[in-house]
Amino acid sequence: MTPPRRSLALDPARVEAVKRSRARWRHEVAELGGPNTLLWHRTSLTGTFDLNLAHPGGVAKLLSGRPTLLSELVREQVAFTDAGRRIGAIRDKVSELRREHGVEAGFLAIGLATWTLHRVPVPPRAPVLLRGCRITPTDAVHGDYLLELHEDVVFNPVLEHYLRSEVHLELDPTMLAGLSAQDHGFDPRLTYQALEDICREMAGFAIGPQMVVGTFPWAKLPLVTTYTGDVRGLAGHDVVAALAGADVPISSPGPDPDRADDPAQELSALDADRSQRLVLDEAVRGASVVLDTPAGTGATQTIANLVVAAVSEGRTVLVTSEERSALDALRRRLDHVGLGDLCLHLAEDPASMRTAVAAVHHALDRLPREEEPDLGTDPLPARADALDVLRRDRQVLHHVHEPWGLSLAQVQDDLAALAALDHPPASRVRLPLEVLRTVGEEELSATTDALIEAAAADAWPRGRAEDPWWSARLTSADEAARATEIVARLVTGELTDAREMADAVTRAAGMPPPANLHQWGHRLGLVARASETLDIFTPQIYDAPLDDMVAATADRDEVTERPGAVARARLRRQVRSLLRPGTPPSDLPRRVRLARDEREEWESVAGRAARPAAPEGWEEALAAFTPIGEDLAWLARVFEGRPLGKDLSTVHLDTVLERLVMLDARADRAPVAATAHPLLEPLREKGLGELVDDLARRGVAPERVAAEVRFVHRSSLLAHLRSDDVPQQLSADAVREAERTFRRADRAHLRRNALRARRAALRRLRRTLAAQASQLTAWERALERARVGAIDLRDIVSRAPDVVLAAQPVVLASPLVVPSLLPPDTTFDLVVVDRAGRTTTARAVPALAHGRQVVVVGDSGGPGPVQFSVVADPRLEGETATDVAEHSLLEDAAAVLPVRHLSTHYRALDQSLVAPLAGLMPVPVHSFPGAARSAAVREHVVEGPVDARVRRTVELLLDHARSIPDESLLVVTDDEATAEDVDVALRAALAGGRSAAGATAVSDDPSAIEPLLVRPVRRVAGEVRDRVLWVTGLGGGVATDPRVPGAVIGSARRGLDIVTPVPVADWPEGDGTDVVRRAVAFREQPARGGGSAVLAELSRRLREEGLTVVDGYAHGPHAIDLAVGEDESRMVVAVDSDVSPGAEPGRDDLRLRPEQLTRMGWRPVRVRSTDVFTDPAREVVRVLEALRGTAARGSSGEGE
């Protein structure tokens, strides 16, 4: 491997800053875990077990490499009890160091070397030889233990380093360890003799023959020595220098949402939501970043995808975390996508090193012969096509149409809301499109206001006869008064009297009486014209040949044919003979023409024989008619367009009188009409007259006008949106098929990415083997040498770094052991530090220095790093329990690197395990709701001493183990002492035969994925179990430090039981107490509630089926539109819809959401609001099928 790029000329200030910090870091790691037991071993009452006092037969069996029971080593009962306590404590400490710090420490120390040091009152005691020792309980009660030694016998590396560096002695550790292997078996005496001979010049040097089982971690010395030597190695690393306080600008291009959302750019093989994809894309482009996110939000998933992306690009990755569970979780995820065998898990003990070498050997033997995976057909085109279909469908539903500012979804929801009213609107009026386009929301509001005002003014009657004054064109109170005055006058005799006079005149003139207003006026007018003619001519004029007379008297250009001159003269003489005495009129031709016309009109009315006349009384009759005619003409204009005003001049006069009587009977409505007209006439002018008339016809009350108007508007708009003039939604079957296609293609895309990563790894390995033949040879030689004697993984890797990392491009290790396993010049393209909030910068810098790019992952809201003791000694552990580091690596890195966050919590199965921790989160994080409606966080008040709480805790623990044996368990206590009390009480209960059925659930077998853990609260961070039992006496900062209860609550996947001496409500006030109270009371918070009328109709119908339905179930963006169950205890079906616009359809909502809900126990069903609106019964059937399990798994589009 090539070393990281180092600047040839480093800034002196940068070097000085790193030098100062290096001294501080070195001091911190030197103090880590207490004195190095490989040099300063001390006998402990609990942390050591001396085999010199054991039975010789058992010791011989153990040293021969055969598994040996503790009862074979210690056969006296009292001594066995003490030995069991010691061995149990050693096992617990070894497990703690492995799980929480990634350090292997369980060894048998063979021979203790001691010598004299000036001014040191207590001389060193260093083990000479070491053999790995595995301790396994024989049962859940820990009634006995099985001890097994590893075959490797190793010379103490710390003693070797001391003798070489401090005493300047030359020695061969492999030869010294090999001397213990004799023909008759293991015998360390030759080793002791050889070492004593080498060290004969050392004052007081001697070796005692003790054989002690204890904790002897190897990682400390290499970790400390990392901070010695040339400082420029660390100073040349930008991130390390920045952490040291040097002025090193580290920038990032920042998230690129377009790239992150482009599947063609995606290299992930595991599901990643959008916030994860943004982080991944930025990191894949080479940025060093901090990912500060709470546990459960997908940090491990993000790291796994980052690893897959790196492998796909031929890059190497070092993932470090002190907590073994983090690395195991990562490995499981990579196993899931077929890339786990590309990971090399490193630990510093000989057994682990041999396992690692064997893994590399197996990879080199197998992978070059492996066929490259067939990627198959690219699923992205099908994915894109399906997504286009879904996006178009969503676009049709939520596109806002102008000028109304409404989408199809909003229109449907409005109509559903109107239909759900106690008195739903029922108008059948629909507005023409040209009218509808003029009625936007503002216009609709104004129209509604006008109609409400008109209705409030009683513009139309309700529950009474029809209003004859309705829609009369009265614009003022004066006009209303005039109308009522006219009507009153006419119906009180004026009309009848005038009509009688007209009848008398017309009869006297030989004409039929007029039947309507037009005839009335016309006939009286004709009489008047005849009277004027008879004033000029004698009555015989009407018997004369008037047509010829008109032609004879007219000018040449006024007629087409004229009589001859003789005839004209004769006719003119005849006209003059018919004139009355006096001066002839100057317009005689016109007068003749009028006489002709009058005769024609008279004949048309009275018959061919009738002749015009002017009977007596015609002037009075005409005078009586004229004002009536004018009044009725004005009323006709007032009632234009209304039945009362229809054909008023041609309808029979009896009908006119009837209408007038009707108006007079409701004269009180005229002022109302005058008030309503200015309100309603503008609406009629806009084309809304049909709506106005419909409201009036049905007498709609003012309080219902708004609903009716809105209904007409929305119904008209819906008709338009469903017409061919606008794009239409697809069928429900087509949409669901597109959803299924998208899900299949998206999963196939991720599987294909995993195959691409594997293909890239295989190609890189083949290229490396072809180009690095010398390294391969060196590897094989080193492997052959390691078959006999001690194994040094760092030396082996240094001989073939490219080959090793080509075969295993992903290395997993604790940052504490990296210096002891990897050569200092081995460089990785990417170094990831997980759970960075639980480690310090000093512990992690040696690992960070191996990376060209750094990603730091952790939870700033969780507990910080704590000191620890490597010895199982309660006194030492008590001293370190309160020793908390000032800053974590996460805090330090966040000050120099860009910080990113994730936004969705996936692990907890109930929101009450997430929402109360909001104050501890750097950004809002939202979770999915659980299906169970029972409280996930419960309190159990147990008064009295701690023993009572311990007993209650054990009872709860065994109850859980019996009732739900598949759920993993975690017990959290305030301190180590209470944890030990719980452990002892649990073993006693199991030994007494209680809960045999749940023994598996309470087993602490470390080989299990999630064994039972009993932990003090300071060591609980990072642990996750289904059920957590927290026994607290309110110590350990529970009330004041919110991170303490936050760590406990965050460890629970399904539920938390709090065993407390007082109710949570009575806990001391503090930030920590507030967190717990919010968790306990979370179920009392109201649900979000529903907001969609379309879904409300579906909800109503489901309730009619006898189901329990909750609208707007739970809180936050992942709330469920409708939760449906058969009873109140548990919800079953999660109904999601498209009623809200939301983000564009994609992986998060189409696949990740339903799959997450399924994992949480829901049966997700997606409904389209259009389908619910048009055919709710069909959607009810779909929900019922999902609820009762009669539908195929993919019937609703979920689960493909």
When the pLDDT of each residue in the chain is averaged and rounded to a whole number, the result is 90
Residue 879 has pLDDT above 70, yes or no: no
Residue 1053 host element (H or E): strand 1052-1060
Task: Kindly report the number of other CB atoms within 10 A of residue 771's CB atom.
Answer: 13
The string of pLDDT tens digits covering residues 317-340 is 999 999 999 999 999 999 999 999
**Confidence class for position 1200, pLDDT limits 50, 70, 90:** very low
Residue 375 has pLDDT above 90, yes or no: yes
**Confidence class for position 81, pLDDT limits 50, 70, 90:** very high
The string of pLDDT tens digits covering residues 286-311 is 999 999 999 999 999 999 999 999 99
**Confidence class for position 562, pLDDT limits 50, 70, 90:** confident
Task: Kindly report the number of other CB atoms within 10 A of residue 450's CB atom.
Answer: 21
Calculate what percentage of the chain has a pLDDT beyond 70.
Answer: 96
Region 216-223: what's the mean pLDDT? 93
**Confidence class for position 669, pLDDT limits 50, 70, 90:** confident
Sign of the dihedral defined by the CA atoms of residues 560, 563, 564, 569, in that order: negative
- Ordered by start, the domain boundaries in the chain are 38-216, 254-377+752-905, 381-467+686-737, 479-547+587-660, 911-1084, 1093-1188
Q: Vertex 899, ends 897 and 900: CA angle to 5°?
A: 145
Higher pLDDT among residues 668 and 996, named by residue: 668
Of 480, 595, 604, residue with least CA distance to 529: 595
- Third-level CATH fold of 254-377+752-905: Rossmann fold (3.40.50)
Region 796-813: what's the mean pLDDT? 96
Tell me the CA end-to-end span of the chain in Å, nearest whole number.
44
Domain covering 1093-1188 in this structure, CATH number: 3.40.960.10
**Whether the bond into 403 is cis, omega within 30 of 0:** yes
φ/ψ of 802, rounded to 5, equals -65, -40
The rounded distance, in Å, linking the Cα atoms of 74 and 56 is 10
Specify the pLDDT at position 543.
85
* Domain 911-1084 identical in fold to domain 1093-1188: no
Residues 6+ apart with CB under 8 A from 1018: 863, 866, 881, 1036
Long-range contacts of 929-932 (CB under 8 A, 24+ apart): 929/1113, 929/1114, 929/1115, 929/1118, 929/1119, 929/1120, 929/1123, 929/1160, 930/1160, 930/1161, 931/1123, 931/1130, 931/1131, 931/1132, 931/1134, 931/1160, 931/1161, 931/1162, 932/1129, 932/1130, 932/1131, 932/1161
Residue 1197 has pLDDT above 90, yes or no: no
The string of pLDDT tens digits covering residues 1090-1133 is 688 999 999 999 999 999 999 999 888 899 999 999 988 899 99
Of 505, 274, 395, 329, residue with least CA distance to 1146: 274
Specify the pLDDT at position 463.
55
How far from chain centre, in Å, is Cα 529? 91
Helix pair 618-638, 495-508: axis angle to 10 deg: 130
Region 201-208: what's the mean pLDDT? 93
**Confidence class for position 365, pLDDT limits 50, 70, 90:** very high
- Third-level CATH fold of 911-1084: Rossmann fold (3.40.50)
CB 579 within 8 A of CB 549: no
Region 597-626: what's the mean pLDDT? 88
Residue 47 has pLDDT above 60, yes or no: yes
The string of pLDDT tens digits covering residues 824-861 is 999 999 999 999 999 999 999 999 999 999 999 999 99
Instruction: Report how far apart, in Å, the C-alpha atoms of 57 and of each of 69, 859, 1040 are.
Output: 12, 52, 56
Tokens of 418: 């109107």
Specify the pLDDT at position 683.
92
Specify the pLDDT at position 961.
86
Specify the pLDDT at position 181.
86
The rounded distance, in Å, linking the Cα atoms of 291 and 294 is 10
Specify the pLDDT at position 1085.
59
Higher pLDDT among residues 632 and 558, named by residue: 632
Region 697-713: what's the mean pLDDT? 94
Specify the pLDDT at position 1192.
42
CB 441 within 8 A of CB 404: yes
- Per DSSP bridges, beta strands 899-900 and 1108-1113 are unpaired
The string of pLDDT tens digits covering residues 1064-1102 is 999 999 999 999 999 998 875 556 666 889 999 999 999
CB 750 within 8 A of CB 268: yes
Higher pLDDT among residues 876 and 264, named by residue: 264
The rounded distance, in Å, linking the Cα atoms of 1126 and 993 is 39
CB 680 within 8 A of CB 474: no
The rounded distance, in Å, linking the Cα atoms of 869 and 883 is 11
| Whole-prediction pTM | 0.86
Specify the pLDDT at position 995.
53
Tokens of 1099: 């909800």
**Confidence class for position 880, pLDDT limits 50, 70, 90:** low
Q: Where are the alpha helices (DSSP H) in 943-1042?
A: 946-963, 976-991
Identify the DSSP state of 401.
Answer: B
Specify the pLDDT at position 1141.
87
Residue 1054 host element (H or E): strand 1052-1060
φ/ψ of 350, rounded to 5, equals -55, -40
Calculate what percentage of the chain has a pLDDT beyond 90.
Answer: 67
**Confidence class for position 878, pLDDT limits 50, 70, 90:** low
Specify the pLDDT at position 606.
85
Specify the pLDDT at position 815.
98
Specify the pLDDT at position 472.
86
Region 475-500: what's the mean pLDDT? 91
- b/e for 805-840, b at 16 or more Cβ within 10 A? bbbbbbbbbbbbbbbbbbbbebbbbbbbbbbbbbbb
SS3 (DSSP) at 1060: strand
Specify the pLDDT at position 1089.
65
